[in-house]
Structure 1
């Protein structure tokens, strides 16, 4: 019997456009012009006469960071699962990104290292490389070109409700904006929970998973064309305390404007580098591509970012919640960014919204069907990122997890180890991490059996 979550996941990741898009609203409102908000606006444009995005930041041109997105100075991966959804909702956007300096890296130019050992290549998934501001600008340009989508500059400060429990508008600074449907895309610091609680409704349950991560990122001039470089996107993963400064993750990717974007991540209060000299020195202990990527002139100063925890707000199971109100993106789940799931999750949240709006929803009641679909996507990403963070926390504190959890962690480690030698296992594992397959795929006994066989063959003594 197929897990219902797997069936839902597979339905949500399909790439064809909906066959019918009924007009449901006069005005729909999106709180926040993030990637999640923009893609929600794109879906709403099929169902509303007018879609208004409320954004407090000035919408900067490509390459400029926004104050409301402090992590956008650092690496952002558009995973294959998210890339397919982006092209689904904005056909041709990938070609446009490439024409403006983005790079679509084939599998041959992607490398993942585990403690210095390259993972076997499997599958043919491509990655769209570019900085977060660059990628966001491409999406924003396409969404704002829609004739019924506009931006209202201002700060959303609250919601307006009808007596029968529906959202009927938004408070923007000192003005009121009527709306038939509202999407919260205000990010991990969203105040939606407080707003609904103050109005007498239930607030979603918030789960925090401590991470304590520190990013240090630098950008360097690149003299070679992206298609002539053997490795255009490299990710290095290291066991704790096997590298200087407790380095855990490092990445190097080609991005727009002939640049390399190089990032190093550590845990707790021990940044990988405090100066450009120290940054370049640390890269000498990494695979050779990192030293190559950091030889050019610095194009901007070192950027740092700290995230104390991952967050997950659960909107399912609420018995008293306003109708006409949903949330997307980091306002629902903000993951450990080393897994690169944020943009892809946001794209899939847009698909959840489309699924909800195209199936004749009862708009006079809370959007429970939407939240149920969204939970499938969020749980799929959370399973990998929060699971790994929980395992690390248990190792630090000496906590023994339940036997079932320990077994799951052991099996996952066997699969990860097998990706060093077996392209088939790599393809299965990469599809899950790319949000192109449900994590239940990894629980298939055939996958684990193949991984165990690959690991046994790799450690067996060679004769002759």
Structure 2
């Protein structure tokens, strides 16, 4: 390719640009925030984010040495017993090889942006994309409006390219633009979850020397009832701080009141209670409402223009409580790389890419959907075999609390290292049965 164009400079867009730098003479990132990313960006970017172990591995693959750079800047890496998962208030079996990176999303994005924009092939255009440009059955570029105070509607300019990548997130207008040029919009599946979450930051001292991550969720013992088992998490992040998130569904969503936030922390597991009692506030409580999970299924379209793909939340935005978003972005970049390395023409419809990515998205959706449907207010759509999946899932969760082997398999799925079908393997189900009946 001579030129590839990425619409959006968020985490997903930056990783797509990194991959495209291996295949194009020039990669242009079009972003109204410009090269420094100083704009608001994703509305939830200041909330606590998780980079699952698969996402961490993919990030190191595309940006070698990034972990060491992040740690040098103050990020924390939790290993083994430093990463603690609680279900119904009970600490799960420890996984000695488990690792998790502790850093805020702005800190992570800043370093990723710096590395990607340092590539000689990558440049940034400060502008807003207003439409696609077509040449017959393929997209040949985008129409942009310069993002400056003096810009006028007639200042639109054409930017030509061999491949256009939609990294515009949940609010992507790709479907509208396709329809405006006579193409079908990708079908969208929705699941209403009505989730609210709130993040606060505290000064970090020596109060929890053996903890980098503590994560608490309600489980089958309490019927997944959030009022009986307070859900929340804390992560040690850069700047000697704790980042604490509380979550809740429906009318149990956390608010901005600091005292109410502390009261909920004190109803959570011991590490969060310790921080609530001993640590000083650093800033305000940030809240965000996530009404629904969404995914656009490009593989269900009968036809699609060449020269166009989508990544990140523009394809799928799932319940953030499971921490899959950043990892999905890394896997979309890797799927795009595999597609281009296969010898596929960037100017042809990218069916192979969308099929590859669809496997990853479907796995993430299955994990989040089955878990979300345990909440009484979530009413579907139900996946095929949901009742059996839910029953099996409950048993595996119960066994994972007390058995390391079951927990290793369970966390491999949670961390997106294995497909959810691993949780229904005969070997794991037999182990689960033996653990729960005391015969292992």
Once the 2 structures are TM-superposed, how far is the Cα of residue 292 of structure 1 from its aligned partner? 2.2
Counterpart of 1:122 in structure 2 is 95
Aligned match of 2:69 in 83, 87, 96? 96
Contact 1:247-1:264 at 8 Å conserved across structures: no
Count the aligned residue pairs.
Answer: 426
How do 1:247-286 residues align onto structure 2 when only pairs under 5 Å count?
A: 249-286=231-268
CA offsets, 1:288-342, max 9 Å, x none? 2112223322211010000100000001032221101000000000010000001
**Matched residue SS, 2:385:** helix
In the alignment, is residue 342 of structure 1 matched against residue 325 of structure 2?
yes
**Matched residue SS, 1:453:** helix
Contact 2:187-2:300 at 8 Å conserved across structures: no
Whole-Å separation in 1 of the counterparts to 2:241 and 2:299: 43
Whole-Å separation in 2 of the counterparts to 1:243 and 1:181: 45
Once the 2 structures are TM-superposed, how far is the Cα of residue 279 of structure 1 from its aligned partner? 1.3
**Matched residue SS, 1:419:** helix
Counterpart of 1:16 in structure 2 is none
Once the 2 structures are TM-superposed, how far is the Cα of residue 203 of structure 1 from its aligned partner? 1.0
Contact 2:312-2:332 at 8 Å conserved across structures: yes
How do 1:188-199 residues align onto structure 2 when only pairs under 5 Å count?
A: 188-199=170-181
In the alignment, is residue 144 of structure 1 matched against residue 124 of structure 2?
no
Contact 1:196-1:202 at 8 Å conserved across structures: yes
Counterpart of 2:84 in structure 1 is 111
CA offsets, 1:118-160, max 9 Å, x none? 1112351211110010111111111011011011111111100
CA offsets, 1:190-228, max 9 Å, x none? 100111111011211100110100111110111239xx7
Counterpart of 1:56 in structure 2 is 32
CA offsets, 1:24-63, max 9 Å, x none? x1110001111111010000000001001111125557xx
Counterpart of 1:448 in structure 2 is 429
Contact 2:14-2:116 at 8 Å conserved across structures: yes
Counterpart of 2:126 in structure 1 is 153
Cα RMSD for the two superposed structures: 2.1
Are the structure 2 counterparts of residues 450 and 266 from structure 1 closer, same or farther at C-alpha, using a change threshold of 3 Å?
Answer: same
Contact 1:32-1:184 at 8 Å conserved across structures: yes
Counterpart of 2:210 in structure 1 is 230
Counterpart of 2:275 in structure 1 is 293
Whole-Å separation in 1 of the counterparts to 2:430 and 2:46: 41
**Matched residue SS, 1:97:** helix
**Matched residue SS, 1:312:** strand
Aligned match of 1:85 in 58, 61, 71? 58
Are the structure 2 counterparts of residues 311 and 44 from structure 1 closer, same or farther at C-alpha, using a change threshold of 3 Å?
Answer: same
Whole-Å separation in 1 of the counterparts to 2:25 and 2:379: 57
**Matched residue SS, 1:48:** coil
**Matched residue SS, 1:269:** helix
Tell me, which stretches of 5 or more residues in structure 2 are unaligned? 146-155
Are the structure 2 counterparts of residues 167 and 446 from structure 1 closer, same or farther at C-alpha, using a change threshold of 3 Å?
Answer: same
Whole-Å separation in 2 of the counterparts to 1:337 and 1:262: 15
Once the 2 structures are TM-superposed, how far is the Cα of residue 269 of structure 1 from its aligned partner? 3.0
CA offsets, 1:56-110, max 9 Å, x none? 125557xx7x422111111111111011100000000000000001111112201
CA offsets, 1:211-254, max 9 Å, x none? 100111110111239xx72121011102568555x775200111
Contact 1:209-1:390 at 8 Å conserved across structures: no
Whole-Å separation in 2 of the counterparts to 1:403 and 1:374: 21
Once the 2 structures are TM-superposed, how far is the Cα of residue 396 of structure 1 from its aligned partner? 4.0
In the alignment, is residue 31 of structure 1 matched against residue 7 of structure 2?
yes
Counterpart of 1:19 in structure 2 is none
Whole-Å separation in 1 of the counterparts to 2:226 and 2:347: 56
Moved more, 433-442 or 40-49: 433-442
Tell me, which stretches of 5 or more residues in structure 1 are unaligned? 1-24
Whole-Å separation in 2 of the counterparts to 1:293 and 1:125: 23
Aligned match of 1:376 in 359, 367, 370? 359
Counterpart of 1:433 in structure 2 is 414
**Matched residue SS, 1:124:** coil
Are the structure 2 counterparts of residues 337 and 247 from structure 1 closer, same or farther at C-alpha, using a change threshold of 3 Å?
Answer: farther
Once the 2 structures are TM-superposed, how far is the Cα of residue 402 of structure 1 from its aligned partner? 8.4
TM-score of the two chains, using structure 1 as the length reference: 0.88
Counterpart of 2:148 in structure 1 is none
Contact 2:258-2:285 at 8 Å conserved across structures: yes
Are the structure 2 counterparts of residues 254 and 397 from structure 1 closer, same or farther at C-alpha, using a change threshold of 3 Å?
Answer: closer
Contact 2:255-2:287 at 8 Å conserved across structures: no
TM-score of the two chains, using structure 2 as the length reference: 0.92
